[in-house]
Structure 1
Amino acid sequence: MLLRLGIRDVVLIDRLDLDFGSGLSVLTGETGAGKSILLDALGLALGARADSGLVRAGATQAVVTAAFEIPDTHPAWALLAENGLEREDELILRRTLSADGRSRATVNDQAISVGLLRQLGALLVEIQGQFDGHALMDSGTHRGILDAYGDLTSLVTASRATWREWAGVREAKRVAAEQLARVKAQEEYLRHVVGELDKLDPQEGEESELSATRARLQSREKLLGTLNNALSALAEEDGAEAKVASATRLLSRAGSDAGDLDPILASLDRASSELADATETLARLLRDDGYSEGQLERLEDRLFALRAAARKHQVTGDELPALYQRLKEELAAVDNGEAGLKKLEASEAETRKAYLAAAEALSSARKASVLKLDAAVMAELPPLKLDRARFTTQVAKLPDNNWGPDGIDDVAFLIATNPGSNPGPLGKIASGGELSRFLLALKVVLAGVAPVPTLVFDEVDSGIGGATAAAVGERLARLGKDLQLLVITHSPQVAALGDAHLNVVKSTAEAGVSTTVLQLTTDQRREEIARMLSGSSITDEARAAASKLISRIA
């Protein structure tokens, strides 16, 4: 609820600090005293449109601060958390309006946008004037209000759960249908490409491996050529082995008695043996290498085929296997897509049926709740001088494309102010005074499910008096047992019912005209109600009548 309201330099208000309690607080004062300024100031703190004309003449800025105490479960805390704002014991909204029309907003001294301030304000206070917009006049809120009144939370939850399931299957079917249509349009191309790649059968990492092996083979081939040349130099007819053997034969024939040639022949023998070992080793290396003729050529043919296919499909060689797999999957989607789509269609039909069952159960419960709601509101109308009026809640089935998580119903609160006339929307049928009383009747009936803890009524008793004014006051007092109410009134019957009485006073001094608000004592309250009964000249009779009103209500 609203705890405090601080106003600085707003129109005729210089400095004003007000404390509020629970229940019904009435605000009275002579016409033109400035009661509407209080509403304008409160509206500013709640995110209403800023008008530089609200800044008091001569001041550079107006500041309004509203402090609230709300329970832990109030949705305002969740809204703060969603916007990354810290939570404190109280919720303090502040709006600063400069004379040039610029404004700033904070919550608990943390800067926020005016849009967020307006969202918070809508969760905390509802201001209802004769011609103001009002949540109950917005048909978009009526379905939620009816559900809260009928305590249909479990049915709404079931409707939302089945809707989400149905929506998920619908989306899966849409994606599958789009994919199937896309791949079917390319089916001939896919079959051709997959056929080519089937023959090639690219393997993961194959291109890199072939490229590395090719480099090794190219190097090995050069080495093998060198080994072959060396072997030829050793073992061919005119090679080193043959020449050493020839030299040995020549020297052996020559002979020498002195033995001068023996060392030479021994050296040649050793050389022949070493050459034989070298030749055998070279031959063994060539024999055991494992290299086959044409191996490099075959490897290069495979490598170049992979690279050509990769260039054709604008991927790297190592990406070709993934492309091949994806194209095979897309082709499989053509073959299997129809069956998959049929399964999804069957699932969609089942989830739609489940949703409709939940939504129709919710719709039936809504229609049952309508009977109780309409009867309760109708019972409130005669004492409010609306006995010729008729209130009805319309529950109509929405077109299929407008169904949603909250069901298949459109809910609207309708009224007819005269017998025989067709019911219509609240704001279009009722006059200002009638509308205020209709909304009061609704608020009384819906008090137990109201999400907003503080209501402000601006002259809900306008144009009525006597028993009707007393009936309005009695309902306001009853509403004040569940909610915090601030009521601006000209009715002594309503004022006498207040748990607290605030008097708005305008005074003139050398510094100019100013407005202030006084918290009235019991005696002051009796005097103010006497003024409301008799006018500017307060008589003893008026005081006695005021005392009687207060005592009767007490």
Structure 2
Amino acid sequence: MLTLLDIRNIVLIEALAVDFAGGLSVLTGETGAGKSILLDALGLILGGRADTGLVRSGADAARVTAEFSVGPRHPARQLLAANDIDGEAGAPIIVRRQLKADGGSRAYVNDAPVSAALLREIGATLVEIHGQSDDRGLLAARGHRALLDSFAGLAAEVAAVRGAWAAWQAAAAAETEAAARLVADQRDREWLDHAVAELTALNALPGEEAELAEARAAMQKGARLTDDLSAVETLLSGRDGGTERLAQAARRLDRIGGEHPLLAEAVESLDRALIEAGEAEERLAAAVQALDADPARLEATEARLFELRAMARKHRVEADALAELAETLMARAAALVAGEGGLKALKAATATAEASYRTLATVLGAARRAAAARLDTAVAAELAPLKLDAARFRTVVAPADAGPDGAERVEFEISTNPGAPFAPLIKIASGGELSRFVLALKVALAATGSAGTIIFDEIDRGVGGAVASAIGDRLARLAEATQVLVVTHSPQVAARGAHQWRIAKAVADGVTRTAVVPLSAAERREEIARMLSGADVTDEARAQAGKLLAR
């Protein structure tokens, strides 16, 4: 609810702070005293148009601050959290709007700057204003379905329908995706079969390209070294090669080695040389084998390598990915074969999900129609006491396209005179009559989906006596569930308030100022007596005021 309204330099208000309480609060005062200024200030807080004409003459800027006490699950707190605006649990929501005389305005919620659009969205969850030109709240048809659901206590049924709708849409999306994929695969069937066949025939293996490239490089190197290796082999192992000559020398020297110690040492050296030469021959043979430059083998290796690389370029993948690509395309080919069967299963799942949704939506629709009849009866009971006995009210529950909230649209309509057609409330009601219709609806709906604070601007215009008393009674009943503020000229309405403020205009030092003064019990009786008798307050008026307050 609204707990504080602080106004600075708005039209005739220089500085004003009003602490509000729960229940029914009434604002009274003579015509022209400035009651509309309070509503204009509240309009700024709720995201209304920033009109520089609201800035008090001579001031550079105007400011309005409001504090609201709301629960932890209030929609306003959810909006703050969704927009990363800090707010301590249990702390009030503080809304501030600044308006410059030369144009431009800034808005803050909990000291965080916000756009006018977000301010309007937050404000709509905090306050409802019903006045002579009301076009929001109960008059907005887009909110009627939610109000009816809240009136009927259909939260569980609505949640079930939303869940069924989500399941239906998910199943339908899966079916659509599968159907599109099947069409694309069928269109590419010839290419797919050819690609699978050539990739299967190729049988590429991961890492094969690198192995082939390495082998090819080795064989190319061997081809370049073949002549040199042959010459070395001849020098070492040929008939007149170095090894044979060493052997001959060793044999001859061995025969005479005993003739001198140095010759024996020479024989040993030659023996070691022969051993080393033998090892060199073995290593040379191994090198020749490793650097095999067989032209046929080189050609086969190059052919396989080029084939792998050509296939990779064709499919725009790395050669190592050809094996994985083959598996993917084979899976697509297999899915194509089974695609029609799979699509059939998805169609069945979609049909099942839709049937479940339709069943739950039908149950919800029936509950809404039953609730509409109860709401019509409840509103009808409120019309006659509010001098709307010739009017008729109805809740239209009509078929609509299926959606997450069901398959109905809901709209409140009235007929103001016997035989007159039904039409939306806002199109055929006006002035105080419109506000009284809103009051009748509010009382019938009780606490369903209302903002924490409801403001009625001169709901009693054009009526008096018993009708004004009926309005006061219903405002008091409504205030049992939510905070209600009413700007009124009716003593019957004012007397039903739990709290009362008098709005007065005074001139001091040539400057006109508007003030809002809380009234004590005695001051309330005097104010209501003034409202009964006019400028000259009589004892009879005071007595009558006392009777009204005693009700």
TM-score by length of structure 1 reads 0.91
Moved more, 235-244 or 27-36: 235-244
Q: Distance in 1 between matches of 2:223 and 2:301?
A: 13
2:286 corresponding residue in structure 1: 285
1:498 corresponding residue in structure 2: 497
Match of 2:191 among 186, 189, 192: 189
- Counterparts in 2 of 1:95-114, with a 5 A limit? 95-114=97-116
Moved more, 147-156 or 331-340: 331-340
2:326 corresponding residue in structure 1: 324
C-alpha contact 2:505 2:514 (8 A) present in aligned 1: yes
C-alpha contact 1:92 1:107 (8 A) present in aligned 2: yes
Moved more, 212-221 or 454-463: 212-221
1:454 corresponding residue in structure 2: 453
* 1:3 is aligned to 2:3: yes
Moved more, 354-363 or 175-184: 175-184
**Deviation per residue, 1:424-476 (Å, 9 max, x gap):** 11111223222111110000111222331110000111111111111111101
* 1:146 is aligned to 2:145: no
SS of corresponding position for 1:414 = strand
Q: CA deviation at 1:242?
A: 4.7
Q: Distance in 2 between matches of 1:205 and 1:117?
A: 63
**Deviation per residue, 1:57-109 (Å, 9 max, x gap):** 11111110101111222121121111112223111111111112211111222
Q: Distance in 2 between matches of 1:118 and 1:262?
A: 117
C-alpha contact 2:253 2:267 (8 A) present in aligned 1: no
**Deviation per residue, 1:318-354 (Å, 9 max, x gap):** 3333433333333333222222211111100000001
2:66 corresponding residue in structure 1: 66
* 1:124 is aligned to 2:126: yes
C-alpha contact 1:183 1:333 (8 A) present in aligned 2: no
- Counterparts in 2 of 1:132-531, with a 5 A limit? 132-216=134-218, 218=220, 227-243=229-245, 266=267, 270=271, 273-274=274-275, 277-278=278-279, 281-282=282-283, 285=286, 293=294, 294-398=296-400, 402-531=401-530
Q: CA deviation at 1:226?
A: 5.4
Q: CA deviation at 1:249?
A: 9.7
Moved more, 158-167 or 82-91: 82-91
Q: What amino acid sits opposite 1:444 in the alignment?
A: V
SS of corresponding position for 2:504 = strand
Q: What amino acid sits opposite 2:174 in the alignment?
A: A
Q: What amino acid sits opposite 1:429 in the alignment?
A: I
Q: CA deviation at 1:300?
A: 2.5
C-alpha contact 2:11 2:57 (8 A) present in aligned 1: yes
Identity of aligned residues (%): 48
Q: CA deviation at 1:363?
A: 0.8
C-alpha contact 2:218 2:291 (8 A) present in aligned 1: no
Give the gaps of 5 or more residues in structure 1: none
Q: Distance in 2 between matches of 1:260 and 1:131?
A: 136
Give the gaps of 5 or more residues in structure 2: none
Moved more, 203-212 or 305-314: 203-212
Moved more, 309-318 or 477-486: 309-318
SS of corresponding position for 1:96 = strand
Aligned length: 548
Q: Distance in 1 between matches of 2:71 and 2:373?
A: 32
C-alpha contact 1:241 1:275 (8 A) present in aligned 2: no
SS of corresponding position for 2:406 = coil
C-alpha contact 1:14 1:56 (8 A) present in aligned 2: yes
**Deviation per residue, 1:401-423 (Å, 9 max, x gap):** x3111111111111111122221
1:264–1:142 Cα change, 3 Å: closer
SS of corresponding position for 1:449 = coil
Q: Distance in 2 between matches of 1:507 and 1:203?
A: 97
Q: CA deviation at 1:390?
A: 0.9
Q: CA deviation at 1:133?
A: 1.2
SS of corresponding position for 1:85 = coil
C-alpha contact 1:224 1:286 (8 A) present in aligned 2: no
C-alpha contact 2:243 2:274 (8 A) present in aligned 1: no
Q: What amino acid sits opposite 2:45 in the alignment?
A: A
Q: CA deviation at 1:183?
A: 2.2
1:39 corresponding residue in structure 2: 39
Q: CA deviation at 1:117?
A: 1.8
Q: CA deviation at 1:542?
A: 2.2
1:535 corresponding residue in structure 2: 534
C-alpha contact 1:26 1:488 (8 A) present in aligned 2: yes
Moved more, 532-541 or 384-393: 532-541
Q: What amino acid sits opposite 1:58 in the alignment?
A: G
C-alpha contact 2:246 2:274 (8 A) present in aligned 1: no
Q: CA deviation at 1:266?
A: 4.8
Q: What amino acid sits opposite 1:126 in the alignment?
A: E
Q: What amino acid sits opposite 1:335 in the alignment?
A: V
1:210–1:99 Cα change, 3 Å: farther
Q: Distance in 2 between matches of 1:295 and 1:511?
A: 114
Q: CA deviation at 1:275?
A: 7.4
Q: CA deviation at 1:306?
A: 1.0
TM-score by length of structure 2 reads 0.92
Q: CA deviation at 1:251?
A: 10
Q: Distance in 2 between matches of 1:363 and 1:148?
A: 14
SS of corresponding position for 2:73 = coil
C-alpha contact 2:220 2:293 (8 A) present in aligned 1: no
Moved more, 306-315 or 17-26: 306-315
C-alpha contact 1:240 1:275 (8 A) present in aligned 2: no
Q: Distance in 2 between matches of 1:249 and 1:7?
A: 127
Q: Distance in 2 between matches of 1:252 and 1:393?
A: 131
Q: CA deviation at 1:283?
A: 6.8
Q: Distance in 2 between matches of 1:454 and 1:234?
A: 111
C-alpha contact 1:166 1:355 (8 A) present in aligned 2: yes
Q: Distance in 2 between matches of 1:25 and 1:268?
A: 126
